[in-house]
Structure 1
Amino acid sequence: MFVPATEDQALAGLRAASTLVDPPESAGLGQSLLIAASQLFFSPPIEVAPQDLTPISPQELALAIGPHHDLAEHVASLLVVASLTDGRLDDDRLRRVVEYAHHLGVHDGWVRDMLQIARGHMAWAMADMTRRNVATFPGWGDGQDHVPPMLPYQDQTDADKRLAARFAELETKPANTFGRHFYDHFRRHKFGFPGEYDAFTGAFAVPHDSLHVISGYSTSLQGEILVSTFTGGMHRRDNMRAHILPVIIEWHVGSEVNGIGAQKGNLDPAKFLVAWQRGQQTSIDALSPSWDFWSLVDRDLEEVRAEMSVPELPSQYAASGEEIIGRL
């Protein structure tokens, strides 16, 4: 459960979400999201069949939620996810999301981005989300209004080579350690270590791939959605715009944004909500400037997970699909 809500408040949120998904007879993913959200998105869960959810106006929703801004933000986040769950960008749905958000008093950056998409400015919105994502990784974006290089080691300086060698030495760590699991994750997937010629910048790869290891999510496209959702739940700040919505749009809706081709249908609503919940329950933020990867490499992986309060990943909520070998 994410946020405490009365039954009437939770029901109002689900009624609004039901106006943003395909109808019950479609048996689409949007209906699956409504079912999962009734059990996982509010505390306590509520029992309601999707076909029993009646429409609710933005004014009625705002009245039901009342002056509870955290709950309002929570409900607005559900609504924008609902609008995308059936796997397409629908301008009318996005405009309704924006209207609901405004009546709820939610004016986060993602609301503006969804409005820009509805107005036909997809490239602008995705560029904004990309910049916000970069800014959440310490030492990479640092608030700059541009996207720094993803492959910064192609000059192969002495410093680059020393960095790569330090990561390669993780092979010598005992099998149970976080450092050895990190090493095996890179080698198994044929990723370059930071410092190697074709490697992603360590400012991104170290926390991102650490979270693959710590969260237990694979590198399949579904796993990438789940680990980014986990990351957003963990980091909290600007999580919808920086981490959650971009991967849904890219790997589920299938809007090409980086030249590798559209990828569709990788969102599982229940797994998605569990990943979000697990991230929120994690007590240490791996995107904090104070998080120190190297201080953890000799620690037992399960000990690291316990220290970070990472909930166990039930097998039915693990990512499915073929794992990515080599970087996208």
Structure 2
Amino acid sequence: MRHIDHRQSDAILGAMRQVALAAGGPLTHADTASVMAAARYLLRRPDLTDIGTLPAIEPMDLQSLLDEPELKTEAIKYLTVMTMVDGVLDRKKVGRVLAYSRALDIEESYLTEIVEAASGHVTWSLADMTRQNMESITGKSWGDADPMPWLLPYGDGKADPELAERYEALGRLPEGTFGRALWAFYKNNDYAFPGNPSALNERFGTPHDSTHVISGYDTSARGEILVSTFTAAMHPVNPMAGHILPVIFSWHLDIKINAVAGSTSGGLDPNEFWHAWARGREVKADLFSPDWQVWDWVERDLETLRLDLNVTPPGVPQ
């Protein structure tokens, strides 16, 4: 996203604050921390110290100040996240986001998802998130097909021992290499290597777990939200509908999407979330690209690889 001036950044941040206030209650810690972190990491406003100084931006104000389609699209994403950062999807906040999106003439599938979920049609929203996620990962139209046979392809006599052994052999690489770190990630989390009967599809599991290793985010609820946010910025194919909303629903709103994904409440770190977004946007590779191959990376030194890819260090929980 190009450089934006202070009036534009203040307008986006002010609109984020207005969404947070739409339910009528006081701002929560998550609301305030989110606006501050978005200012620092995404809108390059480290000078902002008090969100109370932001203007009370109305939808037409935002429309008049944001002049580029990319900027308008990005702003509505930030506003959408503000409907959920405090752990509840509130209809009044969703309505406020819709007012801004109409003013900016933004129509996106993720907006439909939050509208339907806030209206009680959660099953439909989850199904659409699943479809969007599968299309983002596979690069193909998905429709209404059950994702589980694709996600778990090695059962029912379809195991691939040679593939599993290739991953197991990563443990013989030198300490400090990316491949050895990936092997240790699987072992430390008791994950099955691709090819084993209980393993996830290599097409999904390997890029996802490699992103954990590259980004430095763990497999806690917090870490899963962060790694998927990093992924959405790195691999901008259905980023909101297919990556960010599903993990917030799963790991922050405690809404279970499928048998593979877990769920809990309160996993969103309102500071590091926006940092993960910024980190993913700056990385010089896309691990979910069809032409990315883990085997091209396994012998490389992990820290050198991070440096070459412009992967900055993650923040710590606050």
- 1:11 is the counterpart of 2:10: yes
Partner of 1:101: 101
**TM-superposition CA deviations, 1:185-227 (whole Å, max 9, x none):** 1011100001112111111110000000111111111000000
Partner of 2:255: 255
Instruction: Report if aligned partners of 1:171, 1:180 keep a CA contact under 8 Å in 2.
Output: yes
Partner of 1:297: 298
SS of alignment partner, residue 85 of structure 1: coil
CA distance, structure 1, for counterparts of residue 282 and residue 188 of structure 2: 29
Query: Unaligned 5+ residue runs, structure 1?
Result: 321-328
Partner of 1:326: none
Instruction: Report if aligned partners of 1:3, 1:42 keep a CA contact under 8 Å in 2.
Output: no
**TM-superposition CA deviations, 1:246-279 (whole Å, max 9, x none):** 1112211222333677511111121011100000
Change over 3 Å in CA distance of 1:43–1:113 after alignment to 2? same
SS of alignment partner, residue 63 of structure 2: helix
Query: Unaligned 5+ residue runs, structure 2?
Result: none
CA distance, structure 1, for counterparts of residue 132 and residue 310 of structure 2: 26
Change over 3 Å in CA distance of 1:113–1:3 after alignment to 2? farther
Partner of 1:306: 307
CA distance, structure 2, for counterparts of residue 48 and residue 175 of structure 1: 43
SS of alignment partner, residue 198 of structure 2: coil
CA distance, structure 2, for counterparts of residue 4 and residue 83 of structure 1: 26
Change over 3 Å in CA distance of 1:216–1:319 after alignment to 2? farther
TM-score (norm 2): 0.91
Deviation at 1:45, TM superposition (A): 4.2
SS of alignment partner, residue 208 of structure 1: helix
CA distance, structure 2, for counterparts of residue 56 and residue 151 of structure 1: 47
Instruction: Report if aligned partners of 1:186, 1:193 keep a CA contact under 8 Å in 2.
Output: yes
| Residue correspondence of structure 1 range 37-48 to structure 2 within 5 A | 37-47=38-48
CA distance, structure 2, for counterparts of residue 80 and residue 215 of structure 1: 24
Change over 3 Å in CA distance of 1:129–1:261 after alignment to 2? closer
- Residue type of the alignment partner of 2:163: L
| Residue correspondence of structure 1 range 177-256 to structure 2 within 5 A | 177-256=177-256
**TM-superposition CA deviations, 1:135-175 (whole Å, max 9, x none):** 2224xx63222225222111244x61111111111111111
Partner of 1:325: none
- Residue type of the alignment partner of 2:251: W
Deviates more, 1:15-24 or 1:34-43: 15-24
Partner of 1:76: 76
SS of alignment partner, residue 257 of structure 1: coil
- Residue type of the alignment partner of 1:7: H
Instruction: Report if aligned partners of 1:3, 1:41 keep a CA contact under 8 Å in 2.
Output: no
TM-score (norm 1): 0.88
Deviates more, 1:252-261 or 1:265-274: 252-261
Deviation at 1:237, TM superposition (A): 2.4
CA distance, structure 2, for counterparts of residue 61 and residue 90 of structure 1: 22
Partner of 1:58: 59
**TM-superposition CA deviations, 1:63-89 (whole Å, max 9, x none):** 121x21111111111101111111101
CA RMSD, Structure 1 to Structure 2 (Å): 2.1
SS of alignment partner, residue 84 of structure 2: helix
Partner of 1:274: 275
Change over 3 Å in CA distance of 1:309–1:52 after alignment to 2? closer
CA distance, structure 1, for counterparts of residue 63 and residue 10 of structure 2: 13
Deviates more, 1:211-220 or 1:37-46: 37-46
Instruction: Report if aligned partners of 1:98, 1:114 keep a CA contact under 8 Å in 2.
Output: no
Change over 3 Å in CA distance of 1:206–1:193 after alignment to 2? same
Instruction: Report if aligned partners of 2:164, 2:195 keep a CA contact under 8 Å in 1.
Output: yes
Deviates more, 1:257-266 or 1:173-182: 257-266
CA distance, structure 1, for counterparts of residue 54 and residue 176 of structure 2: 48
CA distance, structure 1, for counterparts of residue 234 and residue 25 of structure 2: 33
SS of alignment partner, residue 136 of structure 1: helix
Partner of 1:318: 316
CA distance, structure 2, for counterparts of residue 27 and residue 101 of structure 1: 24
- Residue type of the alignment partner of 1:224: E
Change over 3 Å in CA distance of 1:112–1:46 after alignment to 2? farther
Instruction: Report if aligned partners of 1:3, 1:43 keep a CA contact under 8 Å in 2.
Output: no
Paired-residue identity, %: 35
Partner of 2:168: 168
- Residue type of the alignment partner of 1:194: P
CA distance, structure 2, for counterparts of residue 198 and residue 89 of structure 1: 34
